[in-house]
Structure 1
Amino acid sequence: MSFAVGAKVEHRTFGAGEVAFGPFDHSTGPNHYLIKQEGGKHALVVAEALSPAAKFKVGDRVKGQLSGTEYTIEAGPFFSPREWYATKHADGTVTQNGAGVLSLIDSAADDSAVKVGDVIRILKDGAFAASVKAGDLFEVKSLNPRIPGRIVVDAGPGARMSQWNFRPQDFVKVSADKATVHDGTVYDLTAQYRDTDGDHWSFKRVGDAVRGDCGRSNIDRSSRVGGYSERLSSVVSTYGPLTKV
């Protein structure tokens, strides 16, 4: 295998590096390269000791540069004929994608990265053997430190376990304008709620607060919610508990 100047490579002894010059013949034989190591030193190596550097590693979150579809690297890299990976979609489907059409998702800068306190929506009934249904909402209580991508939530009332673990393919993150958490309870801002007086409430995020409007019938009133509407916290304390309808 030949490598172009500037190519990222792995040497079986020196580790990661970059091709600085080559290939060229040396007194010890043909197909030699000069590589620049990560510390800045250069080393003379034979081609047989080099392999292409992997663009991604197993567990990385990536997305298609054209489609925008997000995947998790399931296996790889493979280098025949070009660098490619086995990639897993959120629904569990595994496909293959070339390294050239994928980009790494920077979890630190990515709004879709899940963190403690976020709300997630379950994608299918019985996800990861939990007693849940598609569409159920949960607050993320912790991240599994041993398995990247795994999250932990408090289980529902009467569940056989106090907490459940979910994999990335089991859920999607819900944006702050679609759900909120108040006093440990998750509220779906796309749904209506009935209070103890029988009135029906619609809620909407207005700035940093979630506010609501009510009426006797079960219709969406979110368009009427504004900066002077009653806060969710006040509705819960005065007319709660609220029941989703």
Structure 2
Amino acid sequence: MSETFKQGERVIGAATGTEYVVDAGPFNGARWPFYVVREPHRTTHVIVTATEIRRPVPAFEVGGGASLGEEPVRLFAGPFRDASEREWWAVEHICGAVEMAYVDDLTNYQPPAPTVETFEYEGVTYEVGATYEDQQGYHVRLERLPKNSGDRQCWRFASNRNAYFDSTEGLISKYGPLRKVEA
């Protein structure tokens, strides 16, 4: 059984690698279902059978998730190519075991979650880019700046719609304690 594609979906010619947009279908052909497709930014249509097109393979990233068969895995390292130029990745199972998996065998890809940068000061963990409420009720958003010449961490932050620059110690001592709020 071949895959079913929706109108407007981007697909790839299985043999040629040509990118197409599905404009109509599937229609029941004499042997196989077929679709009316066109190359993006073109108006000329061609007819292809469902077996001649496939979904594009997503660009995988280390740390992303996927399924190998029915089991969820994390992309541990890659991409690599074997002797026949097939792409494969090292994947990590929930149990911690790492094995080789060909990209064609990985489904349901999910990109890695964005990493959140944090720092700790006097036992409290703060999130860079998050919004906090200071002791006067003003909202403060922390943005990291390059370290200054004194090698202290320097911050740009907004409080009461004014921008300020200070070290971590100065920020917390003048405006703390800071309480995280939803922006």
**Normalising by the residue count of structure 1, what TM-score does the alignment of the two structures yield?**
0.34
Which structure carries more relative contact order (alpha carbon 8 Å, separation 6+)?
2
**Normalising by the residue count of structure 2, what TM-score does the alignment of the two structures yield?**
0.43
Higher strand share: 2
